[in-house]
């Protein structure tokens, strides 16, 4: 770019200031082409009839089965005692329901793994697809003692033993 004075009296010894218009023209032509292509697309639309849906809320409560296992291996189906031999028949009876209920297993800390494996195996063989576990977080030592929180109870009424933290 050349710089010079705007004085017309001076002879051609000084440089003149001029703006280079080529980049400005290039940008303007690119914008013109973009608008020429997109303008017809914005004006053209397709008319379709969309289906109407009602926004009614379904009052369906989720069905759950609470299965509790105490430290001795005793089973409780929705707080009612049940023998482990009767579980496959009960699982088969509820597995065919629509929607299938969710099985929530609540086991004591001292429950033998063998009992828990038998329960889960019987549920899977019967076709139960939704099996979950209910756990209770261990209370912090300082928070539980300060708040005077009662000891957690198992379904049979015996206090649950929580692991000691080092």
**Residue 50 pLDDT exceeds 60:** yes
Size of the chain, expressed as the number of residues it contains: 166
Lowest mean pLDDT: which of 60-64, 87-91, 113-117?
A: 60-64
Measured CA to CA, the distance from residue 74 to residue 111 in angstroms comes to 9
Measured CA to CA, the distance from residue 32 to residue 26 in angstroms comes to 10
pLDDT in tens, 96-108: 888 888 999 998 8
Confidence label for 162 from pLDDT (cuts 50, 70 and 90)? very low
Dihedral angle at the C-alpha atoms of 128, 161, 163, 71, nearest 10 degrees? Answer: -40
CATH 3.30.420.270 is the classification of domain 64-137 = yes
Provide the pLDDT for residue 30: 96
Provide the pLDDT for residue 158: 52
pLDDT in tens, 117-145: 999 999 999 898 888 888 877 777 655 55
Closest by CA to 122, choosing from 87, 160, 81, is 87
DSSP letter at 85 equals G
Provide the pLDDT for residue 38: 86
What ranges do the domains of the chain cover? 64-137
How confident is the model over 61-78, as a mean pLDDT?
A: 88
Confidence label for 42 from pLDDT (cuts 50, 70 and 90)? confident
Provide the pLDDT for residue 40: 80
Sign of the Cα pseudo-torsion (123, 124, 126, 132, in order): positive
What's the predicted TM-score (pTM) here? 0.48
């Amino acid at each position: 770019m050349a710089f010079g004075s705007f004085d017309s009296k001076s002879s051609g010894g000084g440089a003149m200031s001029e703006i280079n218009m080529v980049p400005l023209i290039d940008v303007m032509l690119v914008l013109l082409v973009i608008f020429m292509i997109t303008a017809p697309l914005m004006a053209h639309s397709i008319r379709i009839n969309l289906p109407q849906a009602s926004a009614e809320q379904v009052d369906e409560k989720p069905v759950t089965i609470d299965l509790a296992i105490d430290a001795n291996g005793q089973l409780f189906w929705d707080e009612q005692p049940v023998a482990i031999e009767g579980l496959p028949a009960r699982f088969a009876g509820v597995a065919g329901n629509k929607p299938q209920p969710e099985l929530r297993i609540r086991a004591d800390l001292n429950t033998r793994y063998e009992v828990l494996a038998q329960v889960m195996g019987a549920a899977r063989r019967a076709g139960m697809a939704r099996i979950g576990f209910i756990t209770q977080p261990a209370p912090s030592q300082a928070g539980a003692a300060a708040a005077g929180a009662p000891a957690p109870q198992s379904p049979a009424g015996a206090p649950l033993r929580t692991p000691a933290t080092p």
